[in-house]
Amino acid sequence: MTVTRAAWLRQAVEVCLVVLLPAAIISAIATDLGIYVWTTVVIYIIFAMGTNVLVGWSGATSFGQAAYFGTGAYAVALLRERELPNEVLLVLAVLASAVVALTLGILTLRAVGLRFGIITLVFGQLIYLVVFRNDGLGSETGLYPVARSTVLGQDVSDQRTFFWVVVSVLTIVAFVLRRMYQSSFGLTLAAMRDDPLRTVALGLPIRWLRLISFVLAGAVAGLAGGLFAQQQGSASPSMLSFALSGHIILICLLGGRFRFWGAAAGAIVFTWAEYHLRSLTDATDLYLGALLLVIVIAMPDGLAKLWDLTTVALRSRSRTSDRDEVSV
């Protein structure tokens, strides 16, 4: 089964178009503060797309993804004195969070559905408590300062340059995830999400499929965490909190977890709404909650549904329809 060159190319073009084009516009017109906020948004996009491998692709909702995001952040923060280049730092962050995800993944393998969400939440809180009580990890103040280490030998501490570092990491992650999404592995995950019993009857070991997507989601979360510690300049316990785990699930569902780009759209809208509400009112929670309520009730499959309603062209049932259109 040779993979046609056209497929690689089409995926690369799509990812570049969807990521690099808007990034170029942002970099051109955004103010210094705007660039900082957008860098945070892009990091949330990476975190959300990683989490969606679990929540959207495999249909297993974990309420403890902040534990891996925080592991990546603290891994980078702990190595802050060693002046390692970013290529090494981020790889170590990914490895650290992948190992933690593997361990907890094996432990929580048997739990399914809501119980999986509950046990991952409890483990997430345990990790939060361990870090918070630990003096070596800076307890409530966290570990600081975390400098933005060099990329390919270049200094990237300037906010706009760091924005492009984060955007290029997103491009790579999005490309890899896009390939996986359209690979046979991606199809087996979609099958498991749809009907685990049927998937087993075809001989596919769903325990392994779940574990691999769990570790994959954890690793990408760790990568985002590693970048976030450099963006913020420190690693703090709030990066491991239950609130963050809840928000990232919210973002995946908000954007539309059955769409490849859904999580990214969710991250943009959620952060954009929270940012503007915070500066406009003193009751952000109230308005943010109301907005989420409307979306949850009115749009079962998230914002992606909004896009379908605005698509005027009638979609023909093309023979090789991409799973995106199908899985609305």
18 binds other proteins (CB under 8 A): yes
71, 125, 149, 230: which one contacts other proteins (CB under 8 A)?
125
Q: How far is the CB of 163 from other proteins (least distance, A)?
A: 13
Near other proteins in 49-78, by CB under 8 A: 55, 61
24 binds other proteins (CB under 8 A): no
Near other proteins in 189-218, by CB under 8 A: 190-191, 193-206, 208-209, 212
123 binds other proteins (CB under 8 A): yes
Query: Residue 92 or 308: which CB sits closer to other proteins?
Result: 308
| Spatial CA neighbour of 226 closest among 94, 41, 40 | 94
30, 84, 92, 95: which one contacts other proteins (CB under 8 A)?
30
- The stretch near other proteins (CB under 8 A) out of 64-72, 86-94, 160-168, 243-251 is 243-251
300 binds other proteins (CB under 8 A): yes
282 binds other proteins (CB under 8 A): yes
Number of residues binding to other proteins, judged by CB under 8 A: 142
- The stretch near other proteins (CB under 8 A) out of 46-54, 95-103, 218-226, 230-238 is 230-238
- The stretch near other proteins (CB under 8 A) out of 46-54, 79-87, 91-99, 266-274 is 266-274
Q: How far is the CB of 87 from other proteins (least distance, A)?
A: 22
